[in-house]
Structure 1
Amino acid sequence: MSFWYLFPAVFALTYLLTKLLRRYALAASMIDVPNARSSHSTPTPRGGGLSIVLVSLLALPLLGWYEFLSWSEVMAFSGTGAVVAVIGFLDDHGHIPARWRLIGHFSAAIWGLVWIGGLPPLILFGFSVDLSWLGHVLAAVYLVWVLNLYNFMDGIDGLASVEAIFVCLGGALLYGIAGMNENIWLPATVACAVAGFLVWNFPPAKIFMGDAGSGYLGIVLGLMALQAAWVSPQFFWSWLIFLGIFVVDATLTLLRRLLRGEKVYEAHRSHAYQFASRQYGRHLPVTLWVTAINLFWLLPVGLLVGMGMLDGCVGLLVAYLPLSILAVKFRAGSKEA
């Protein structure tokens, strides 16, 4: 059954809802006012990512009804995404202590893992490895890390949006090449929802995503990577490769700050993308460079891994090495002046 009208409908609905949320944010004084830790210079409303959350959550039962998702997958993505989005929404409107956010994030991750079956056996350097209960624990930690790194990386106009669109469409392309067209629908739907928001978020942004949107996208992308691993073990590595820029920048920054003994939960602007945006004096060049790296480097490597032409672990190392060099060049995690 043809269901392609869903994509333009999702795009249009997210676009219109973001417009309404922008009006609400202005009326409710939900404004990000620039300070010493900011990467922007103009007061801008925030919380627009809620449109992505609402529209994609609305689409999930439809995908289940038309059997593009199993109902257990609908439960996984709906419950996990909704809990994280609510936590982010409350944090956008006030402040939730870090320990309570963390408890909520792990609870959401566990919910999603229970419904999708946890971490499947993975292929490590050609060997199938089933980590059993330890794998499920690591999968929960992985989901919470992807959630938070996405929050960390949502710091300049359009960056988190173009990353989510690329990762989703890269995953959809991988499914299409493999002839698994029924798996295309979820990532393509999320990509269309983010694209509707990106119209308002593209540099110079008229509204920011906020914690509700960035946290939701982080954990949903992480969960889709685990879902892909159940479809085919090498697909998990492809999704991690597609997420490479965010994973490398956020992880390297965190490690270097930890080594200096800094409080990693405090706001900062020492990510590579933040140093790069200050060097260029604008957000747009950085967002465009990230898009180019995704398309011309990470996409080909990820597809080679997904098609079985390159070992997943080897492909991950090949993909991440130049990203690490680039992150060091742009001083990821260096002490701010």
Structure 2
Amino acid sequence: MPSSVLAFIIALVIVLLITPVIIKFAIKTGAMDAPDKRKVHRQPIPRLGGLGIYISFLIAVVFISLTTDITAGHINELLGLLIGGTFIVIVGIIDDYTNLPAKIKLIGQIAAACILVSFDVRIDFLSNPFGDWIFLEYLSLPFTVFWIVGLTNTVNLIDGLDGLAAGVSTIASITLLLVAYQQGDMFTVFITAALVGSALGFLKYNFNPARIFMGDTGSMFLGFILAGVSIIGAVKSATTIALIVPILALGLPILDTAFAIIRRYRGGVPIFKPDKGHLHHRLLDLGFTQRQAVLLMYVFSCFLGVSAIALTQVNEYVGIIILVFIISVIIYGAKKIGIFHPKNNLHA
């Protein structure tokens, strides 16, 4: 059996087995997500589910690493992912129990990103649509940290409906897996396969009506690993623009975050203030049920994932045309559902 398939199965089975235990543990220890006027659930829900995602991913990756040679030549990157990922999980667990201030949580995210960079996982160059290379040189470190922290937060911010962050992360992981497979990067295929197993298995307990939330423990871990994989993998040398593939793979949470910044700025609201103008809030306001809204956002994520894969198969000029079309559709759709309207800046 291929190592990547085995990693997927191990992660899937373990998260299915341990999540019920974590539900009981979260309830017993008080890791509960209380309802408020900005959230859509109406009763306290355990929110330590990300611990199951982390444990299942960790066991699958370590087991395959010790029993096969798939990580040969990638030990440094693997250690960076696991140590940095463990650090971000610790920050997430603390936040799920105590609701850390945003600044403290950001410091923790930056520290985790620096851990990954210290293992020489960094963005050293970019390519442009015309085939030239842009070497970042002294900007490599801050750019890489910004990338990791940014993606960590985008997944964290989209975790607002049952099954949304887990499903979108699963789709993004599959996208990166397929692109890496096309390019023969089996290490990235292995890591993303384990991530798919962990996130997909967690959906059994997290899809509406959710029995448990992943909390910041899960959303930050998923975002962090996806950010790291997008740097490590062959995606970095894609034939279009180096970071376009992972940007599209995680297009939904990235767009939601970008729209929130634009909306709050236009409305004169501090950027870090929460509101009810996120994509999922707007879909609920338009009359969609939780399940319908989540499934619709899955479909859009799949569309962006397929677009990302397609971009690796076309020349630069066709790729630009595809990107322009996607951007036009996104802007039109965002305006139609009122995503930029200042009235949606309702504080929590």
Please report the TM-score for the alignment, with normalisation by the length of structure 1: 0.91
Decide whether aligned partners of structure 1 residues 309 and 303 sit closer, same or farther in structure 2, where only a CA change above 3 A counts.
farther
Q: Shift in Å at residue 313 of structure 1?
A: 6.2
Question: Is the partner of 2:286 in helix, strand or coil?
Answer: helix
In 2: Cα distance, 1:25 partner to 1:174 partner: 37
Distance across 2 between alignment mates of 1:29 and 1:191: 28
Q: 2:193: which partner in 1?
A: 188
Q: 1:44 to 1:150 in 2, by over 3 A?
A: same
C-alpha contact 1:241 1:319 (8 A) present in aligned 2: no
Calculate the aligned-residue CA RMSD, in Å: 2.2
Q: Per the alignment, in what secondary structure is the counterpart of residue 118 of structure 1?
A: coil
Q: What CA deviation, in whole Å up to 9, does each residue of 1:171-214 have, x standing for no partner?
A: 11112233434431110110001111110011121111100100
1:283 aligns with 2:290: yes
Which residue pairs with 1:94 in the alignment?
Answer: 98
Equivalent pairs: percent with the same residue?
23
Opposite residue 105 of structure 2, the aligned amino acid is R
Give the deviation of 1:217 after TM superposition: 0.7
Pairing 1:206–2:211 present: yes
Distance 1:248 1:108 in 2: 23
Q: Which residue of 2 aligns with 1:148?
A: 153
Unaligned runs of 5+ in 2: none
Aligned to 1:298: 304
Show the counterpart of 1:328. 335
Offset at residue 327 of structure 1 (A): 2.6
Kindly indicate whether the alpha-carbon contact (under 8 Å) linking 1:157 and 1:201 is maintained by their aligned counterparts in 2. yes
Q: Deviations over 1:33-77 (max 9, x none)?
A: 221111223332211111111221233333443233311111111
With over 3 angstroms needed to count, the CA separation of the structure-2 counterparts of 1:317 and 1:79, relative to structure 1, is: farther
Task: Tell me: CA distance 1:265–1:195, structure 2 relative to 1, closer, same or farther (3 Å).
Answer: same
Report Cα offsets for 1:72-96 as digits up to 9, x if no partner. Answer: 1111111221111111110100132
Counterpart amino acid of residue 63 in structure 2: L
Instruction: Give the SS at the match of 2:127.
Output: strand
1:264 corresponds in structure 2 to 271
SS of equivalent residue, structure 1 residue 280: coil
- Counterpart position of 1:34: 35
Partner SS state of residue 129, structure 1: strand
Residue range with higher mean Cα deviation, 205-214 or 134-143: 134-143
Match for residue 222 of structure 2? 217
TM-score (norm 2): 0.89
Counterparts of 1:5 and 1:146, CA distance in 2:
27
Supply the distance in 1 between the matched residues of 2:320 and 2:90 (Cα, whole angstroms).
Answer: 35
Residues paired across the two proteins, number: 336
Partner of 2:70: 68
How many Å separate the matches in 1 of 2:337 and 2:197?
31
Q: Distance in 2 between matches of 1:151 and 1:231?
A: 23
- Bigger drift between 173-182 and 200-209 goes to 173-182
Whether the 8 Å contact between 2:235 and 2:245 is mirrored in structure 1 is: no
SS, match of residue 204 in structure 1: coil
Aligned to 2:141: 136
Deviation at 1:23, TM superposition (A): 1.1
Which AA in structure 2 matches 1:111?
I
Alignment counterpart, residue 84 of structure 2, candidates 80, 86, 97: 80
Partner SS, residue 243 of structure 2: helix
The Cα shift of 1:318 comes to 3.8
Structure 1: 5+ residue stretches without partners = none
